[in-house]
Chains A and B, each alone.
Chain A
C-alpha cells in the first residue's frame, strides 16, 4: 500500500516537472495564455502544495517514516502554501507571488542542501537510529527522493504564481 503511494507521488512529481518546465517556458517567452493565467495557475499551485502536504503527512503518520530536521524545515515552508495560495486562488489575487516566492526560495535552498546530504551521506556524519537526514526513505525512478519531490513542488508553485501574475 505504502509502495503504491510512494510510486503515485513519484509519478505526480514527474507531472509537476512537466507543468513547471512548461509554464516556465511560457513565462520566458511571454506567452502565458489567458486560461492559464486567469483560471488555472493558482488552483494548480494550490493542488501541488496540497498533494505535497498530504503526501508528507501520509508518509510520516501512516507509513511511520520519521521526519528528520531538514524535513521539518521543508514542511514549515510547504504547509502554509496550501492556505496562502489557496486563498489567493479564491480571491484571484495575482500579487500572491510576493508572499509565495520568499517562502519557496527558502524551502528550495533547504531541499537542495538535503539532496546534497542524501547524495553525500558522509557530510551528515554518523547515523543515529531515529531520523538521519541522509536516509532516503523514498527513491522513485532512481532520483525522486522526498527532498527532490519537495524541491519540484517549490519550483512548480513558484512558477505558477508568477504565471498568474504575468500580463
Chain B
C-alpha cells in the first residue's frame, strides 16, 4: 500500500516536471517567435522611413527617342566568324540627342565611330569612363564623327535615366537616343552592349564588334574609319 502511494507520488511529480518542461518550451517558442516578428517589423519600419521618396519623374516614353531609320537592316552579327555586314551600306538614322538636337548616323560623307550602350549595362558602365578619357585627351581624329547610341532602355534597372548616367560620367559628346523597341540597335544587327560600329566615308560598314575594348583599340577603330 505504501509502495503504491510512493509510486503514485513519483508519477505525479514526473508528470508535473514534464508539464513544466513543455510550458518552458512553449514560453521559449513564443519568446523567440516574438523576437523574430519584432525584428521583421523593425526592419520594415526602418526601410519605410529610410527609403523615402524616389524620383520616378522620367518614364521610358519620356526618354526614348523616335529615330527615322532607312536602308536595309544588317544581318545579325556572327560570333567569332567573318562579319558579312562589312562592306554593306549602313542603315541611315535621323534622330535626336537627349536635348532635342538633331543627330544623324550611317549616312555617307563623314567617317563615323558609333558605340551602342545601355545605361543599366555594367560592361557599358565600366567602359564609359575610358571612352570619356579618350575623347577628353583628343584621341578622336578631327575628321571622324563619334556618336554614342543609347539603346535598350529599361527604367527598372540601375542608372536611370540615361542622360544623367552620361552626364555623371562626364560625357558631353553626341548621343543618339534609340526608340522603345531598340530599332537602331536592331537595324545594325547587334546582340549586346557595348557594341562598336565603324562606318566609312562612303557610308559602308567597316567593322562591328561587341564587348569592352581596350582603350588602345579606340585609336585603331578611329584610324580604320579614316582610312577605310
**Could you tell me the distance in whole angstroms from the C-beta of B206 to the nearest C-beta in chain A?**
20
A122-B125 Cα distance, complex, nearest whole Å: 10
Report how many residues on chain B are interfacial, defined by Cβ distance under 8 Å. Answer: 38
A7-B50 CB under 8 A given contacts A12-B40, A15-B43, A126-B210: yes
A125-B124 Cα distance, complex, nearest whole Å: 10
A4-B123 CB under 8 A given contacts A39-B29, A137-B157: no
**Could you tell me the distance in whole angstroms from the C-beta of A6 to the nearest C-beta in chain B?**
8
Q: Are A125 and B44 in contact (CB under 8 A)?
A: no
**Could you tell me the distance in whole angstroms from the C-beta of B23 to the nearest C-beta in chain A?**
14
Nearest residue, chain A, Cβ from B210: A126
Q: How many A-B residue pairs lie within 8 Å, measured between CB atoms? A: 94
A129-B152 CB under 8 A given contacts A11-B46, A39-B32: yes
Q: Is B120 an interface residue (CB 8 A)?
A: yes
A47-B152 Cα distance, complex, nearest whole Å: 38
> A116-154 toward B: CB 8 Å interface, digit per residue (1/0)?
001001101111110010111101000000000000000
Q: Are A11 and B43 in contact (CB under 8 A)?
A: yes
B157 — which chain A residues lie within 8 A by C-beta?
135, 137
Report which of B29, B43, B122, B195 forms a contact with A134, defined as CB distance below 8 A: B122
Nearest residue, chain A, Cβ from B153: A129
Q: Are B51 and A7 in contact (CB under 8 A)?
A: yes
**Could you tell me the distance in whole angstroms from the C-beta of A47 to the nearest C-beta in chain B?**
6
Q: Are B122 and A4 in contact (CB under 8 A)?
A: no
Q: Are A40 and B50 in contact (CB under 8 A)?
A: no
Please report which residues of chain B, range 17-67, place their CB below 8 angstroms from some CB of chain A when the two chains form the complex: 25, 28-29, 32, 36, 39-40, 43-44, 46-48, 50-51, 54
Please report which residues of chain B, range 112-160, place their CB below 8 angstroms from some CB of chain A when the two chains form the complex: 118, 120-127, 152, 154, 156-158
Nearest residue, chain A, Cβ from B40: A12
A44 — which chain B residues lie within 8 A by C-beta?
32, 36
Q: Is B193 an interface residue (CB 8 A)?
A: yes
Q: Is A8 an interface residue (CB 8 A)?
A: yes
Q: Is A90 an interface residue (CB 8 A)?
A: no
Q: Is B91 an interface residue (CB 8 A)?
A: no
Report which of B28, B32, B123, B156 forms a contact with A124, defined as CB distance below 8 A: B123
**Could you tell me the distance in whole angstroms from the C-beta of A103 to the nearest C-beta in chain B?**
23
Nearest residue, chain B, Cβ from A63: B156
Q: Are A43 and B32 in contact (CB under 8 A)?
A: yes
A115-B61 Cα distance, complex, nearest whole Å: 33
B212 — which chain A residues lie within 8 A by C-beta?
121-122, 126
B54 — which chain A residues lie within 8 A by C-beta?
3
> A25-45 toward B: CB 8 Å interface, digit per residue (1/0)?
000000000010001100110
A122-B123 Cα distance, complex, nearest whole Å: 6
Which of B25, B122, B194 neighbours the largest number of chain A CB atoms within 10 Å of its CB? B122
A44-B200 Cα distance, complex, nearest whole Å: 64
Q: Could you tell me which B residues sit within 8 Å of A by CB distance?
A: 25, 28-29, 32, 36, 39-40, 43-44, 46-48, 50-51, 54, 118, 120-127, 152, 154, 156-158, 182, 191-195, 210-212
30 contacts between A and B (CB under 8 A): A3-B51, A4-B47, A4-B48, A4-B51, A5-B47, A7-B46, A8-B47, A11-B43, A39-B25, A39-B29, A39-B32, A40-B32, A63-B156, A64-B156, A118-B122, A122-B126, A122-B211, A125-B211, A126-B191, A126-B193, A126-B212, A127-B118, A127-B120, A127-B124, A127-B194, A128-B191, A129-B118, A129-B182, A136-B122, A137-B157
